[in-house]
């Protein structure tokens, strides 16, 4: 790629209307945006529907770090990744959805790994509390038989 293109900036607009100015090299880490840029169907401002400003800021932060740190040590990047993905479930869910929708492979990979780490070493009961939260009550009452079947197998 030519250096002039690298300096190009793109404007991303989140679902709630906030605008972010990001370098093109960072924005094209999302395959979906990359396709739009390559097909030249994008004007200066690219709308990012389904992703609100909060989440979009996080995604951009992640992409920037990964772009800058191409020369950086892999171990540093790993620490950044593990700290970055260490969030509450709501944020994780939104981030995963955004990463999936915008097709940001590195982010999706880091997030999925984080969720897997959350599951490791936990029992059925603990995973339910962690992921299903208050839904647990619902499950316990409406699917009573289902639960008996499960507990029999693994407790």
From CA 107, how far away is CA 104, in angstroms rounded? Answer: 6
Nearer to other proteins, 37 or 111 (CB): 111
Q: Which residues bind other proteins (CB under 8 A)?
A: 88-94, 96-97, 100, 108, 112-113, 115-116, 119-124, 127-128, 130-135, 139, 143, 146, 150-154
Residue indicated by tokens 């800058």: 68
Minimum Å gap between C-beta 138 and other proteins is 9
Element (H or E) spanning 77, and its range? Answer: helix 74-84
Q: Considering beta carbons, is residue 69 or 123 the nearer one to other proteins? A: 123
Q: Least Å distance between CB 84 and other proteins?
A: 17
Nearer to other proteins, 35 or 113 (CB): 113
Q: Which is nearer to other proteins, 57 or 96 (CB)?
A: 96
Tell me the closest approach of the beta carbon of residue 15 to other proteins, in angstroms.
Answer: 14
Q: Is 62:75 a contact under the CB 8 Å cutoff? A: no
Taking the least distance from each CB to other proteins, the nearer of 11 and 150 is: 150
C-alpha torsion angle, residues 113, 105, 24, 9 (rounded to 10): -50
85: nearest Cα among 102, 66, 68: 66
What is residue 123's DSSP assignment? -
Q: For residue 111, which of 141, 87, 133, 130 has the smallest C-alpha distance?
A: 87
């Amino acid at each position: 790629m030519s250096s002039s293109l690298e300096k190009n900036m793109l404007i991303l607009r989140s679902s709630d209307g906030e605008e972010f100015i990001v370098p093109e090299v960072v924005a094209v880490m999302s395959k979906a945006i990359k396709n739009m840029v390559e097909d030249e169907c994008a004007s200066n401002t690219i709308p990012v529907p389904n992703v609100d400003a909060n989440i979009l800021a996080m995604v951009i932060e992640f992409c920037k770090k990964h772009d800058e740190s191409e020369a950086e040590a892999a171990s540093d990047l790993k620490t950044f990744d593990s700290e970055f993905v260490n969030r509450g479930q709501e944020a994780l869910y939104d981030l995963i959805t955004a990463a999936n929708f915008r097709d940001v492979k590195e982010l999706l990979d880091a997030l999925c790994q984080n969720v897997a780490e959350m599951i490791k070493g936990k029992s059925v009961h603990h995973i339910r509390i962690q992921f299903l939260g208050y839904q647990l009550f619902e499950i316990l009452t409406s699917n009573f038989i289902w639960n008996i079947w499960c507990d029999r197998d693994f407790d």
